[in-house]
């Protein structure tokens, strides 16, 4: 099944869901990919300086690695295509207009936005308003 590519359809059917728990981005040392995978991360990205790992906050605290501030994850339930144009920009733009930092992870089926834990409720409200506005415009 292929994902949706039409921006208006994507926005109108975002259905953002707040994932339970708090997460951190951890800066793992070079050569530690196997150790990262053993932690059952939400995500891993190989960078030149070493892997960046997205972990539950309690797991990250046990690693001893440099950590980000606690984040919440908002997952869009719409199956967005990796070839869709403008979705990341629309979501990040709406959040930026509210002064909310957004770290977007586009996976095969869905887009996920990590926001500061303190901003999670405002981010959810902003993304729901974005979807409602797009749905009303259809």
pLDDT 10s per residue in the chain (138 long)? 689 999 999 999 999 999 999 999 999 999 999 999 999 999 999 999 999 999 999 999 999 999 999 999 999 999 999 999 999 999 999 999 999 999 999 999 999 999 999 999 999 999 999 999 999 997
Q: What is the pLDDT of residue 1?
A: 63
The domain ranges of the chain are: 1-22+71-138, 23-69
CATH architecture of 23-69: 3-Layer(aba) Sandwich (3.40)
Backbone angles phi, psi at 58, to 5 degrees: -70, -35
pTM: 0.94
Here the tokens at position 74 are: 């908002």
Query: Are 26 and 69 within 8 A, CB to CB?
Result: no
Can you identify the CATH homologous superfamily of domain 1-22+71-138?
VC0802-like (3.30.2130.10)
Residue reference for tokens 């586009």: 106
Say if residue 71 is exposed, middle or buried (CB neighbours under 10 Å; 0-12, 13-18, 19+).
buried
- Both tokens of 134, joined, read 């797009």
Which CA distances in Å does 52 have to 21, 31, 41, 47, 65?
19, 12, 10, 7, 10
């Amino acid at each position: 099944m292929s994902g949706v590519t039409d921006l208006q359809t994507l926005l109108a059917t975002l259905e953002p869901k707040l994932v339970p728990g708090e997460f951190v981005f951890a800066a793992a040392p070079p050569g530690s990919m196997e150790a990262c995978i053993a932690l059952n991360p939400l995500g891993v990205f190989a960078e030149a300086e070493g892997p960046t790992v997205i972990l539950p906050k309690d797991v990250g605290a046990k690693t001893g690695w440099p950590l980000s501030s606690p984040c919440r994850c908002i997952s869009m339930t719409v199956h967005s295509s990796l070839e869709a144009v403008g979705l990341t920009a629309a979501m990040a733009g709406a959040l930026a207009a509210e002064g909310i930092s957004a770290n977007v992870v586009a996976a095969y089926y869905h887009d996920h936005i990590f926001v500061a834990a303190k901003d999670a409720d405002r981010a959810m409200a902003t993304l729901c308003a974005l979807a409602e506005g797009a749905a009303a415009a259809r």
